[in-house]
Structure 1
Amino acid sequence: MLIATAAVLGVVVGTCVGYLVQADREPTALPPLSQPSLAQAKGPGPEPLSAAQDRQVKVDGDLRKLLLSKPSGARKGLYAAAGDGWLYVSAYAETYKYPAGAFRNLVGKREFRRAAITDWRESDEFNVEIRLVQYRQEETGTEAADAADNAYYYAQPDGDYGTDSWPIPGTGDGMAYVHKKPDTSYGVGVYSAEAHAWRGDIAMEIWIYDTKPIPKAKVLDLAKRQMERL
């Protein structure tokens, strides 16, 4: 009991002494609450981006103008679904294996907005088709990237077509594919190549068909030039 009482008294006395010492000291001045004002930059503010520099203005305009132009001397393609350059959602759904389910998915979860299409023939057999598919991206904001991911998955078949693949320069994860074995289900051997990439809310699709093997350089060149326009 004596030891405990002495300890308590020691704490109390120490606290009192501390208060007395502090009371005898001069108060320490606090720093001012206000901060020095910053000098404002002189002259006019930055100029707004022009329509040519503002990507959002570009992609919200006429999507068909972002498609590659047909090469000189090329003829009308074989597969375009819309004569005015627009690929409507019903026609786009028909390009899937299960069109009814694709249609519901496109107008629902995938938030399809619009699609533009161009195609041409450089010979009787060599056909190119390019699609730009734009999504609203109001919920998750990744529909264009998801569409490209799905395309990457389905472009790698189970070995029947001997597919080779390469990244598309300047696109992040964009990929080009050449299928080295022809599809003979139409009674004639048809070789194919494809390329897929995305930027912002637009997914790019390129499809090439020929009765001869398709060079890697051809599909990569088309994909690179088309993505540069986005």
Structure 2
Amino acid sequence: MEPNDTVSPTRRPRGRTALIIVAAALLGISGGTAVGYGIQAQRPPTPLPALAQPGLGYPAKALPADKAAAPLPASEDRQVKMDGDLRKLLVERPKGAKASPDHPREGGEWQRLSDYTREFEDERSMFLFLAENDVRRIAVTAWMQGPYRQSDVTLVQFRSSARMGAADHFDGQLSYMPEAEGGAGNTGDPIAGTGEGRYFLYAVEREPGYQPFHRARALAVRGDIMIDINITDVKPISKKDIRVLAERQLERL
């Protein structure tokens, strides 16, 4: 080192002695690892502890063909029913009821998405929501009982996908029902046999000179189908009327 050369105070010079020490350390680590693997390889295998489960939950051999469970018939297979003609799953028109001018075909008919969404205040948002959630098809039936009472039953079916279309549509409609028709806190009543299905009754206030307006609505989900039932009349609608109609429709699904 020349007299005028200086060494950086932040970095130590690495001489021959330092390199020998590093090489010895690496050799010691490698050697120790090799010896450890050798000792472990010579030891006898340690048996695993016994399983806590005493036995398997299924038979060791397949059941004979004559004892195997038969597949569900189409009449009992719900998915087969729902993949068929959706109109055939609509509730039948009651005896004595007449065709509705809106949906005159007996036995139900197909409804276009654009026609269905026109029934909502914000039809554009509803159209986009249903399209994005893979709506598959819509079937509807309707009838008149007396001069003013009309009943409409709509089945909105969604495609099987990652989206929960029927459940999402149901949740969206159910969320505003307590405040619908100018009401406040109308929580409705549960529909038996459904998880969260409910039905609601409303008496809508009208201006003087207009006939009173009463409405009942039932909402439920069965698989990939959202059920939407409405009854309108100038006379009060009983809970039994809307509840029984909802139960009859659910039985067909």
Q: Same fold (TM over 0.5)?
A: yes
1:41 counterpart residue number = 63
Matched residue, 2:4: none
Matches within 5 A, 1:175-214: 175-183=198-206, 187-214=210-237
The separation in 1 between residues aligned to 2:130 and 2:143, in whole angstroms, is: 26
1:178-199: per-residue Cα shift (whole Å, max 9, x none)? 0134455994321101000001
Identity of aligned residues (%): 33
Q: Distance in 1 between matches of 2:191 and 2:219?
A: 9
Q: 5+ residue gaps in structure 1? A: 1-18, 32-36
TM-superposed CA distance for 1:97, in Å, is: 1.0
Shift of 1:227: 1.1
Deviation of 1:115 (Å): 0.6
The one-letter code matched in structure 1 to 2:234 is T
Instruction: Please give the secondary structure, in 1, of the residue aligned with 2:93.
Output: coil
Task: Indicate the residue corresponding to 1:94 in structure 2.
Answer: 118
Q: Which structure: larger Rg?
A: 2
Deviation at 1:82, TM superposition (A): 7.9
1:67 pairs, out of 75, 90, 113, with 90
Corresponding residue for residue 174 of structure 1 = 197
Q: Structure 2 CA distance, aligned partners of 1:228 and 1:208?
A: 19
Distance 2:114 2:208 in 1: 25
Instruction: Give the corresponding residue for 2:156.
Output: 133
2:248 is the alignment partner of 1:225? yes
Match of 1:151 among 173, 193, 196: 173
Secondary structure of the corresponding residue to residue 64 of structure 2: coil
Shift of 1:80: 3.2
Q: Number of matched residues?
A: 200
Q: How high is the TM-score relative to the length of structure 1?
A: 0.77
Distance 1:63 1:28 in 2: 63
Report SS of the residue matched to 2:236.
coil
The change in CA–CA distance for 1:187 and 1:135 in structure 2 (over 3 A counts) is same
Contact 2:201 2:215 in 1 (8 A): yes
Within 2, Cα distance between the matches of 1:184 and 1:170? 39
Question: 2:214 & 2:224 partners in 1: Cα distance?
Answer: 30
Q: Secondary structure at the match of 1:157?
A: helix
2:130 equivalent in structure 1: 106
**Cα pair distance change 1:120/1:43, threshold 3 Å:** same
User: Over residues 160-184 of structure 1, what are the superposed CA-to-partner deviations in whole Å (9 max), with x where a residue is unaligned?
Assistant: 3364610000111000000134455
One-letter amino acid matched to 1:64: R
Q: Deviation per CA, 1:123-156, whole angstroms, max 9, x where unpaired?
A: 111110000000114132x110111111111221
Specify the code of the residue in structure 2 equivalent to 1:103.
Answer: F
Between 1 and 2, higher relative CO (CA 8 Å, sep ≥ 6) is seen in 1
Distance 1:54 1:118 in 2: 24
- Which deviates more, 169-178 or 157-166? 157-166
Report Cα offsets for 1:190-211 as digits up to 9, x if no partner: 1101000001100000000000
Normalized against structure 2, the TM-score is what? 0.70
Offset at 1:29?
11
